[in-house]
Amino acid sequence: MPAGGALKKMRTNDPGRKPAVAAVLMAAALLAGAGCGYRLRGTGSSLPPQVRTMSVPVFKNLTTRFELDVKLTRAVINELVARGKVAISADPAGADAVLEGEITGFTATPIGFSGGNQADKYKITVTAKVTLKDRSSAKPLFANPAFVYQQEYDVPPGASFESLETEAIDKIAEKFARSLVVSILEGF
């Protein structure tokens, strides 16, 4: 049979056949996706099943930013609570795992300027050494010696970054925590 004839056979306008073909293709796509390990973000956990409680002591602040340690720690605890994957224990001795962090860097670099040569956009970078250890075995479940979170922050006209620094750090802390918790819980 000539190639054109085979092509004509494939292009059928049978209305009863189109839904069946669509259903078969959809089923194949769903099976392929399920078999590849894909899942919705925020629904999985790469923590071992025995880790049901976690303690998060206040991160050590090796920077000069006042209260950065408290804000980042609080944001990480809030994110863990919101995800509901583990209970939070104030006492490390009563937890299945302990998440420790050291904030090793904080920079706010101007990257955009207004007409008056005033910085109106900053790139904020937070770097931390983070380790999650199984308390009973002291085995690391997650470790990143240089976890980096970066975000751009806009400063409204007439304001300076210094006047909005507290607000900027609060916003950065929430997003830093979300990124870190996703990395820990989902292994990304």
Residues 75 and 162 in one domain: yes
Structural domain contains residue 113: yes
Residues 17 and 106 in one domain: no
Residues 161 and 117 in one domain: yes
Structural domain contains residue 135: yes
Query: Which residues span the domain enclosing 116?
Result: 53-186
Residues 149 and 178 in one domain: yes
Token readout for 116 is: 């008056």
Residues 18 and 58 in one domain: no
Residues 63 and 19 in one domain: no
Structural domain contains residue 64: yes
Alpha-carbon span 43 to 121, nearest angstrom: 34
Token readout for 187 is: 């292994």
Residues 73 and 154 in one domain: yes
Give the CATH number, domain containing residue 109. 3.30.160.150
Domain count, the chain: 2
Residues 27 and 114 in one domain: no
Structural domain contains residue 45: no
Residues 11 and 86 in one domain: no
Residues 113 and 180 in one domain: yes
Residues 59 and 25 in one domain: no
The whole-model pTM stands at 0.73
Structural domain contains residue 41: no
Over pLDDT 70: what percentage of the chain? 76
Higher confidence at residue 75 or residue 47? Answer: 75
Q: Is the pLDDT of residue 12 over 70?
A: no
Other CB atoms within 10 Å distance of the CB of residue 69: 19
Nearest to 76 by CA among 160, 169, 173: 173
Alpha-carbon span 174 to 164, nearest angstrom: 16
Mean pLDDT of 117-143: 93
Mean pLDDT of 69-88: 95
Confidence of residue 81 (pLDDT cuts 50, 70, 90): very high
* pLDDT, position 116: 76
* pLDDT, position 47: 86
Written as one string, the DSSP assignment of 82-116 is HHTSSEE-S-GGGSSEEEEEEEEEEEEEEEEE-TT
Helices (H) and strands (E) in the chain, counts: 4, 6
